[in-house]
Amino acid sequence: MKTYLAAALLGAMALLPYPPAQAQSHFETGGQTPMPAADWVDQATGHQVRRLTPLDGGNGSFYFHNNPFVKVGGSDAMVFYHTGTQGQQLQLLDLATRRVTPLSEYYPKISGEIVDARRHDVYYQAGSVVYATNTDTHKTRKIYAFPADFPGSISTLNADGTLLAGSLGGAEAREIFKKYPAKSDFFNRIYDAKVQHILFTINTKTGKRDEIYQENTWLGHVQFSPVDPDLLMYCHEGPWGKVDRIWHISIKTHAVKLIHKRTVDGEIAGHEFFSPDGQTVWFDLQQPRSVTFYLAGAPVAGGPEKRYQLQRNEWSIHYNISPDQKLFAGDGGDPGQVAKAPDGEWIYLFRPSGDQFQAEKLVSMAHHNYHLEPNVHFSPDGKWIIFRANFEGSEQVYAVEIAKSAS
């Protein structure tokens, strides 16, 4: 406990408020390790970049479709993962001052990363136990402990904060993951095994677990709608060219619905996410794979899809959408990714124009190792793109301003 309190005091003093938004130095992003300052202008793009986290270990932002933001004391804050010598801890970052305070105890590993922005709770899992910590009071409560015969993990929270959800593969699938830890080794094996997988929910008040759906195929990428507490999205995982990936299920009726049906030989679709208003599911669409690139949006209620075409270099591992739903962002990719882009290592801003995107490069990622996926998020005010990167030697969280620097 003394260690935890000491960490809290150190975290609270970790960084001073932002320096004035004026004359920043222009540097090659990642050209020096570490960078000579926490704030600079990317010399390739003219956009201001800020390191949001202190260089006190590894600091990682959330997966692209998991909201990390919450209001604390009237200010916008972001929850992130800190990894240090004591293990892993969730910490809270004030986006206006860059002040860092711990949220959780240290654990060997934390997963789950779910922020309930309405109730100011952060849900996470340490080992087999699920906890919730309030960002205002920092009080923690135990939600659920997975039994040994059901080693599940949580991944999403519904819109009214009453249910957590996740998926669990059978013993054979878990053995494959254990024996073949590299994605290149387990990916096809899990798909080919056709092992039973289960979708489940956990009541956040009572801790009651319900198994709502099962199928002898790999199920994952589970996400609740941001507005409809009854609607859960899940995926048929595996090689994208072999699966109709994106599905919805009603928690109440257990009725399932395919969201996008592949129609072109070699077509792939995936890395799906809900729009903020819950009316659209956006996803990476390639018709066929690695030839023609789109960000596509399927209406949840049904109807024609909206598609924005991108150039090969603009393809991104993950995309995201601004709070006002007028802009999009992407995290680019290195030549080893599916697009085989010769010049795709950028953080991008996308402005819809007809049926295409007008792309703007925000940050050069030439010195970033894409084994760590940047996973872009728009800031709550829509003025910055937040991402993770390792171009300073360790994983840290950064923000780039959408408006060009005046200096």
SS (H, E, C) the chain: CHHHHHHHHHHHCCCCCCCCCCCCCEECCCCCCCCCCCEEEECCCCEEEEECCCCCCEEECCCCCCCCEEEECCEEEEEEEEEECCEEEEEEEECCCCCEEECCCCECCCEEEEEECCCCEEEEEECCEEEEEECCCCCEEEEEECCCCCCCCEEEECCCCCEEEEEEECHHHHHHHHHCCCHHHHHHHHHHHCCCEEEEEEECCCCCEEEEEEECCCEEEEEECCCCCCEEEEEECCCHHHCCCEEEEECCCCCEEECCCCCCCCCEEEEEEECCCCCEEEEEEECCCCCCEEEEEEECCCCCCEEEEECHHHCCCCEEECCCCCCEEECCCCCCCCCCCCCCCEEEEEEEECCEEEEEEEEECCCCCCCCCCCCEECCCCCEEEEEECCCCCCEEEEEEEEECCC
| pTM, two decimal places | 0.92
Amino acid 274: pLDDT: 98
Amino acid 5: pLDDT: 41
Write down the domain spans for the chain.
25-58+276-407
Amino acid 170: pLDDT: 86
Specify the CATH class of 25-58+276-407 in words: mainly beta
Amino acid 184: pLDDT: 80
Q: Which range, of 22-26, 254-258, 328-332, averages the lowest pLDDT?
A: 22-26
Amino acid 173: pLDDT: 83
pLDDT confidence band for 12 (50 / 70 / 90): very low
* Average pLDDT, integer, range 372-390: 98
Residue 51 pLDDT exceeds 70: yes
Residue 111 pLDDT exceeds 80: yes
* Average pLDDT, integer, range 109-138: 97
Tell me what the pLDDT averaged over the chain comes to. Answer: 93
* Average pLDDT, integer, range 334-342: 97
pLDDT digit string (tens) for 257-298? 999 999 999 999 999 999 999 999 999 999 999 999 999 999
Amino acid 176: pLDDT: 87
